[in-house]
Amino acid sequence: MGAAFAQRLRAAGWEVIGYDLATACRRRARKLGVELARGNAAVFALCDRVLLSLPTLRETKLVLREARHALRPGQLLLDTTTGEPEQTVAIHRRLAALGVHYLDTTISGNSEQVAAGDEVLTMVGGDADAFAATRGLLRVLTSRVRHVGPAGSGARMKLVTNLVLGLNRAVLAEGLCFAEKLGFTRRAALEVLLASKAYSAIMDTKGEKMVREDFTPQARLAQHLKDVRLMVRAARAAQFKLPFTHVHRQLLEAAERAGLGALDNSALIKVLAGGKAR
């Protein structure tokens, strides 16, 4: 996702300074026209607006700890990491005490869609004035941007959208497997589903992958399992039950045990079909 952001910003004429621990990612960033900093702290020292795209909030905290001496009043931090909302709020409070504006800036879409300029939505939580100050930058990243509330709201809404998205994906996988048991091919079933009232946008992105069993990752299954566990914890705190999500989590955990965690999240169909990891 970080590379997709860099690509969008460079194409729009922005100067981009970045860093990544992985050599391959730094090499790719350089090809995209990113000026490479010597480390995380150097990015914060050089930039008034910093965009974070990390696996979990654990990495966000580590980066912020490394950059603590470079943080300064008025700096804007946009964190696209999907994490626990309460931890997001805690980070916001710590940075606000330093005069740093922290926005939880979650993305409903994958890196390929962002890079291609597809209709991807950014959901932002945090101070309304800070959001207004970054709106121009955000519109370069994705075609649609929405301020969804105070700190933590972007993280919360991401869990809501990912819940519905993940269940749509699981339902599609189950439907295609059901069709096979009734004597249809996955291809034939998908073509009918695309033309029917059962259609959902997830069929456009994951239907073909499930039919062809092409599980080259757009978004990894293990990453979505992480998000589902966050949903369950958030629901528990809100004293709300998520019956479908609990079943979904069990399926994802079975997929991870089968060695599918590093594959695309559409690989869930292999569990429902009774297959094993290739």
- Does one domain contain both 187 and 247? yes
Q: Is residue 76 part of a domain?
A: yes
The mean pLDDT value for 257-275 works out to 93
Residues 6+ apart with CB under 8 A from 79: 52, 54, 60, 88, 91, 102, 103, 104, 105
Q: What is the mean pLDDT of residues 20-27?
A: 91
CB 43 within 8 A of CB 37: yes
- The answer to whether residues 78 and 169 belong to one domain is no
Q: Do residues 141 and 174 both lie within one domain? A: no
Asked if the model's pLDDT at residue 112 lies above 90, the reply is no
277 within domain boundaries: no
Q: Locate 135 and state its tokens.
A: 């709106």
Same domain, 10 and 43: yes
Give 49-98 pLDDT, tens digit per residue. 999 999 899 999 999 999 999 999 999 999 999 889 999 999 999 999 99
Residue 87: count other Cβ atoms within 10 Å of its Cβ.
19
Q: Are residues 84 and 218 in the same domain?
A: no
pLDDT band at 275 (very low <50, low <70, confident <90, very high): low
Asked if residue 189 belongs to a domain, the reply is: yes
* Cβ pair 14, 140 in contact under 8 A: yes
118 falls in which pLDDT band (50, 70, 90)? confident
What residues are paired with 103 via a beta bridge? 78
> Number of structural domains, the chain?
2
Question: 12 lies in which domain range?
Answer: 2-150
Is 235 in the same domain as 253? yes
Beta-carbon contacts of 151 under 8 Å, excluding residues fewer than 6 positions away, are 88, 89, 92, 93, 102, 104, 125, 126, 127
End-to-end CA distance of the chain: 26
In the structure, what pLDDT confidence band is assigned to residue 277 with cuts at 50, 70 and 90?
very low
> Same domain, yes or no, for 52 and 15?
yes
Q: Considering the entire predicted model, what is its pTM?
A: 0.89
pLDDT in tens, 174-190: 999 999 999 999 999 99
Residues 134 and 182 occupy one common structural domain: no
